[in-house]
Structure 1
Amino acid sequence: MSRIRSVAASIPAVNRRTVLAATGAAAVSAGVGYALRPTDSQAAAGAPTEATRVVAQSRKAPGAPLAPYTKGTTLASVAAPRSGTGYRRLGDGAGWSRVVRGELAAPKSGRAGRRTALAAFVQLTDLHLIDAQHPMRLEYLRSADRHAWRPHEALTVHGAISLVERINALRGAPVTGSALHFAMTTGDNTDNNAKSELEWFLKIMSGGRFTPNSGDPRHYEGVQNSGLKTYWQPDSTVRDGDKQLGFPHLQGYLAAAIREVRSPGLNLPWYSTVGNHDAMPLGCYGHGDSWLAEYAVGGRKLMSLTASEAKRLQDHIKAGNDPKGLAFRDLLKAHTRDMRPVTADEWRAPFTPADYLRAHLDPAYRGLGPVGHGYSSANLAAGTQYYTFRIADDVVGISLDTTDPGGHYEGSIGTAQLNWLDKQLKDNKDSYVVVFSHHTSKTMTNTGHADPARPNERRLGGQEVIATLGRHRNVLAWVNGHIHRNDITAHSSSAGGSFWEISTASHVDYPQLARVIELTDNKDGTISLFTTLVESAAPHRTDFADLTQTGLAALYRELSYNAPGASTKLGGAAHDRNTELLLKKG
């Protein structure tokens, strides 16, 4: 499908729910979505002024709605292990069927023939683009936890580009056949809060050529050519622990992993939501320690640690009792003599929330827009990373910032943002609402660390967000990530609201998925939300001799399946995958 530029126009604000219900018309069927450029008031304080809408025509509109389809989705086929033990090769597996869930509304017969499309979009989450040679990485935790380091970490860029290629190849929304409005990334776009990773993310999403390498431009220097048997040494004949499990010897793998790549960029507008790995070094340590910042760009890297020390550090991280990374800094200082030399690189410096916003606002990364990908100059001025945007005439999106800059990987939300959310829901009471965040309701438990920029503000958890959403009948869904697992939960409130919480698996851990979400009016007093999972465009079968960009993307998936210690439950149950989720119409 052809890629076309965004078309900007000022359109008076109109509430369309009643009009659409009467006529059955939907902007999505015409292939045009309203990607609202948030006004300064929307982005910063939520004042009730009308917005200037930017019309983002994502794909050339077909003459008529496309037919429903399954090809290229997990309804048709899913990567699955072939026979054997040990290291298992992947191939084409049976698809996942669609499950109808009626906890919040009973499905009524004949709805398929009545329904009209309201909106459709794609969710990507937890790409975890990894600068695999970065000094701050915690590979050595593997001595205590096998899954603390993944053998496929050098290929995150290749896998993410292949996912973009899959999204670009979709013929529209699988169930309704309508056009897709946009894509939303729900955080942990980067892994280590490094400027190198941020640039890779923006180029993957918006398009361009780049080299996924830092440090020495001539060759890889990290744990995978260290000779240490703790890690898979793909280019070496060393009998490391992973090779003993069947991992292959692949001469030339590391050179291929850091060669120049090309991303086509998404052929539809995209928006961004911040995750803890985007906000903080290692996804858990607050900014401000100058020694750690210097270590990140310096010329020494710790590559091994005893199991007891590794466990102690991992326990600190899990408990959240070292939010500033002081114990981590002291551990690194104690092991200065054990570090190995690497090429220093300023590009590995941590980025601040302001850096993150400026990068999204950079015209070099606009792609098909919108400018800022949801963020605005008002966010930059106010020091906020949450905003409202219009998805379609009848649907509004709200992106939250659930990271806690005080430290720790679990989430929370400040009172000012929660009050802002409540106001946005009230101001848009005549539109349906989809809320986006990185953290899930159950992982918003980090309420004990103050935001350094707002030390007197109370931090609130997931139950407070659920209560706020439950007071508004226009909320359809809360879409998030963080847990790296497909999980869909029904929420209903005594206040009258009900909505679905949709959590999608990551693209760094197997089964490496994204999700298409379609909103439809069944014309019988119910709304249906359809969720359809997709894999990257890389073939299920791998060829160890194929070290091209596509071949490495396929290998990325297979290595993630075989990663020692990896969970086998991240795909979720059948009712968390491809679904029809019913709601009573508010």
Structure 2
Amino acid sequence: MSNRFSRRQFLRASAATAGVVAAGSAFAGHVHANPAATANTSGTTLAQTAAAGRARKGGYRPLVAGKGWPLYVRQELATAKASRESKRSALASYVQLTDIHITDVQSPARFEYVHPIQGPAFRPQEALGTQGAVALINRINAVARGPFTGRAFDCVVSTGDNTDNHELIELQWFQRLLSGGTVTPNTGAKNRFEGLQALGSSLYYRPELDSWDIYKDRGFIQIPGLLHAAIRSHQSPGLNAPWYAVFGNHDDQLLGTVPNNIVDWLYNSGIKYDLPDTDPTAVAIGRALSTNPAELGALLAKLRVTGPAIPVTADARRRPVSPREFVRRHFDPAIKGAGPLGHGFTDPDGPTWYKFQIADGVLGIALNTTNSMGIADGSISQRQLDWMNRTISAHRDQLVMVFSHHTSSTMGSMLPNPETPGERQYDGAHLVSQLHRHSNVIAWVNGHTHKNEMIAHKGATSKQSFWEINTASHIDFPQLARIIEVVDNRDGTLSIFTPLIEADSPYTADPSDLSQRGLASLYRELSFNDIHYQADLLGKAQDRNCELLLTNPLH
């Protein structure tokens, strides 16, 4: 299929979006419109989405197929002209994954017992993350092209938190999932599940037990064999398109918040802690994770003596991975698939940031916004900021899209970064101001918040304006990825289409189906029913499927 629609196709499509300009002026810069008649919406959330079914006793709601979400034309940075429908051509088409959080759920280096205070510490679906990831990869491979342009995906970009706890085994699973191969999501004992969902208290969803837990109070049911099925070997086809990895805080630190080397002994421990949520130490640990992770050393040293703890099988593959090793592992020749070698990183011993060619005339800049001092918030170092500005300036003849894990509002960690000693750190507002200096930056694509959000950043001139595109995670519901299509409207504007996609698995989970696909279905449905579910992660309707207008800076 041609990357440029014919005039006849766009004239037919015009009826679907007629009145956009007039309506846009009355609706604060955006307007709901039907997808163009030529758009192939199959497999995207424009066609259908997961929706809540009828609640059963306790409030648990199975998922069912629901209506698709509408397309919103966003005009805060430029006005949509009706003539664009018959003129535009595709420049780039790719997929953004983010916050996939491949998790070793049996690791001793976790704090599940604080989830009443810190919800993300335990998720009822987390043991099924690799099966859920394969279902998402299958969806990306099946869709294959941008629905609005028909352009084959140029690449896939994973914008951080590729792993949950920066363990070697989690990184290996992540790489095998994206490149293809056999994944055995099990650590410790070879033939049994040793996580707290099997051995822990009633504070967790324990699917194989018929005894009470707080999740069964909410309508979760017993599913015999679920945890045994979760650790079985299974296959990933790998992505058909080249993929690139961006560094996130969970790729850098224990649980994305704890400074390295403080409690690293936990990884190779032969015990797993399980404290009651009323235990004062559990409360103190939960608070420390979000306020002062340095306090954890003393708190955990006390637990080594007092417990309570559950014996588990130690596993050397759980050892933490440094930023340097994270980069080197992407040059492993055992990683097959579509490539490229290094998956964006330019040197096995080089920096954790890089540039890459998304398509002809469209350059990607991948940043590392993590701060290894601890706390989930990020920042950017002086050297990296200088490199970014030089690189963008050196490619003035190309459109530039910037990628990072953190968002403009979550880069507030101004503590010195151990990875960049002696360098000044800058926050998100400063990064925005630096991007405004360049007329060819059109978007900043990120994750971290697990929420869909579009932010129009207006510069001093229309050509110094850009969109910030934030996408929900693939661990917490709604478990999405985003297609991003860049088109030249040939009228002085660009459009960036941002349709969302879901994993390729049945909406309604069948608890008797413990196949790889059945587990992927449970992964999504359990996440929707998590007691810590946050409906606002969906974002507003106008933050999901969008056409983002902006001035073409190269026009």
Output the TM-score relative to the length of structure 1.
Answer: 0.86
Residue 200 of structure 2 contacts residue 274 of structure 2 at CA under 8 Å; is this kept in 1?
Answer: no
> SS at the partner of 1:185?
strand
2:235 aligns with 262
| Paired residues, number | 517
Residue 100 of structure 1 deviates from its aligned partner by 0.3
Q: Mean Cα displacement is larger for which, 340-349 or 493-502?
A: 493-502
Q: Residues 327, 427 of structure 1: CA spacing in aligned structure 2 closer, same or farther, 3 A cutoff?
A: farther
Residue 135 of structure 1 deviates from its aligned partner by 0.2
Q: Deviations over 1:421-458 (max 9, x none)?
A: 1111100111000000000000000012x122432111
**In 2, Cα distance between the equivalents of 1:67 and 1:364?**
41
**In 1, Cα distance between the equivalents of 2:317 and 2:120?**
27
Residue 361 of structure 1 contacts residue 376 of structure 1 at CA under 8 Å; is this kept in 2?
Answer: no
**In 2, Cα distance between the equivalents of 1:171 and 1:135?**
39
**In 2, Cα distance between the equivalents of 1:453 and 1:544?**
46
Question: Where does 1:185-334 land on structure 2 (aligned, <5 Å)?
Answer: 185-226=158-199, 228-289=201-262, 292-307=263-278, 308-319=280-291, 321-323=292-294, 325-334=296-305
**In 1, Cα distance between the equivalents of 2:52 and 2:245?**
33
**Are 2:419 and 1:446 aligned?**
no
2:61 aligns with 88
**Are 2:313 and 1:343 aligned?**
yes
**In 2, Cα distance between the equivalents of 1:134 and 1:98?**
42
Give 1:213's aligned amino acid. Answer: N
> SS at the partner of 2:108?
coil
Q: Residues 324, 200 of structure 1: CA spacing in aligned structure 2 closer, same or farther, 3 A cutoff?
A: farther
1:177 aligns with 150
Q: Mean Cα displacement is larger for which, 242-251 or 302-311?
A: 302-311
**In 1, Cα distance between the equivalents of 2:424 and 2:295?**
19
> SS at the partner of 1:69?
coil
Give 1:524's aligned amino acid. Answer: D
Residue 286 of structure 1 contacts residue 324 of structure 1 at CA under 8 Å; is this kept in 2?
Answer: no
1:381 aligns with 349
> SS at the partner of 2:172?
helix
1:407 aligns with 374
Residue 227 of structure 1 deviates from its aligned partner by 5.0
1:48 aligns with none
Q: Deviations over 1:476-505 (max 9, x none)?
A: 100000000000100012265100000000
**In 2, Cα distance between the equivalents of 1:367 and 1:516?**
20
Give 1:322's aligned amino acid. Answer: P
Residue 392 of structure 1 deviates from its aligned partner by 1.4
1:491 is aligned, of 432, 454, 457, to: 457
Residue 235 of structure 1 contacts residue 254 of structure 1 at CA under 8 Å; is this kept in 2?
Answer: yes
Give 2:339's aligned amino acid. Answer: G
Residue 173 of structure 1 deviates from its aligned partner by 0.5
Residue 565 of structure 1 deviates from its aligned partner by 2.0
Residue 241 of structure 1 deviates from its aligned partner by 1.0
Residue 125 of structure 1 contacts residue 505 of structure 1 at CA under 8 Å; is this kept in 2?
Answer: yes
**In 1, Cα distance between the equivalents of 2:120 and 2:370?**
24
1:29 aligns with none
1:353 aligns with 323
Residue 273 of structure 2 contacts residue 308 of structure 2 at CA under 8 Å; is this kept in 1?
Answer: yes
Residue 286 of structure 1 contacts residue 325 of structure 1 at CA under 8 Å; is this kept in 2?
Answer: no
Give 2:308's aligned amino acid. Answer: D
Residue 293 of structure 1 deviates from its aligned partner by 2.5
Residue 177 of structure 2 contacts residue 183 of structure 2 at CA under 8 Å; is this kept in 1?
Answer: no
Residue 211 of structure 1 contacts residue 260 of structure 1 at CA under 8 Å; is this kept in 2?
Answer: yes
Give 1:358's aligned amino acid. Answer: R
Question: Where does 1:449-468 land on structure 2 (aligned, <5 Å)?
Answer: 450-468=416-434
* RMSD after superposition: 1.8
Residue 144 of structure 1 contacts residue 310 of structure 1 at CA under 8 Å; is this kept in 2?
Answer: no
Residue 366 of structure 1 contacts residue 372 of structure 1 at CA under 8 Å; is this kept in 2?
Answer: no
Residue 137 of structure 1 deviates from its aligned partner by 1.1
Q: Residues 322, 102 of structure 1: CA spacing in aligned structure 2 closer, same or farther, 3 A cutoff?
A: same
Give 1:349's aligned amino acid. Answer: R
> SS at the partner of 1:110?
helix
Residue 84 of structure 1 deviates from its aligned partner by 2.2
Q: Residues 67, 171 of structure 1: CA spacing in aligned structure 2 closer, same or farther, 3 A cutoff?
A: farther
Residue 175 of structure 2 contacts residue 335 of structure 2 at CA under 8 Å; is this kept in 1?
Answer: yes
> SS at the partner of 1:510?
coil
2:383 is aligned, of 416, 435, 441, to: 416
Question: Where does 1:464-543 land on structure 2 (aligned, <5 Å)?
Answer: 464-494=430-460, 497-543=464-510
**In 2, Cα distance between the equivalents of 1:421 and 1:329?**
40
Question: Where does 1:542-581 land on structure 2 (aligned, <5 Å)?
Answer: 542-581=509-548
Q: Deviations over 1:493-544 (max 9, x none)?
A: 2265100000000000000000000000000000000000000001111111
Q: Residues 442, 387 of structure 1: CA spacing in aligned structure 2 closer, same or farther, 3 A cutoff?
A: same
Residue 324 of structure 1 deviates from its aligned partner by 7.9
Q: Deviations over 1:225-275 (max 9, x none)?
A: 125111111011111111111101101011000001100000010001010
**In 1, Cα distance between the equivalents of 2:46 and 2:420?**
46
**In 1, Cα distance between the equivalents of 2:494 and 2:204?**
49
2:141 is aligned, of 152, 164, 168, to: 168
Give 1:225's aligned amino acid. Answer: A
Give 1:370's aligned amino acid. Answer: P
1:78 aligns with 49
**Are 2:69 and 1:69 aligned?**
no
**In 2, Cα distance between the equivalents of 1:328 and 1:566?**
29
Residue 271 of structure 1 contacts residue 373 of structure 1 at CA under 8 Å; is this kept in 2?
Answer: yes
> SS at the partner of 1:373?
coil
Residue 497 of structure 2 contacts residue 546 of structure 2 at CA under 8 Å; is this kept in 1?
Answer: yes
Residue 199 of structure 2 contacts residue 310 of structure 2 at CA under 8 Å; is this kept in 1?
Answer: no
Q: Residues 464, 454 of structure 1: CA spacing in aligned structure 2 closer, same or farther, 3 A cutoff?
A: same
Give 2:479's aligned amino acid. Answer: Q
> SS at the partner of 2:400?
strand
> SS at the partner of 1:363?
coil
Residue 348 of structure 1 deviates from its aligned partner by 0.7
Give 1:299's aligned amino acid. Answer: G
Residue 67 of structure 1 deviates from its aligned partner by 5.7
Residue 323 of structure 1 contacts residue 408 of structure 1 at CA under 8 Å; is this kept in 2?
Answer: no
**In 2, Cα distance between the equivalents of 1:453 and 1:187?**
17
Q: Residues 437, 327 of structure 1: CA spacing in aligned structure 2 closer, same or farther, 3 A cutoff?
A: farther
Residue 311 of structure 1 deviates from its aligned partner by 2.9
Q: Mean Cα displacement is larger for which, 280-289 or 96-105?
A: 280-289
> SS at the partner of 1:361?
coil
**In 2, Cα distance between the equivalents of 1:327 and 1:275?**
27
> SS at the partner of 1:488?
strand
Residue 110 of structure 2 contacts residue 121 of structure 2 at CA under 8 Å; is this kept in 1?
Answer: no
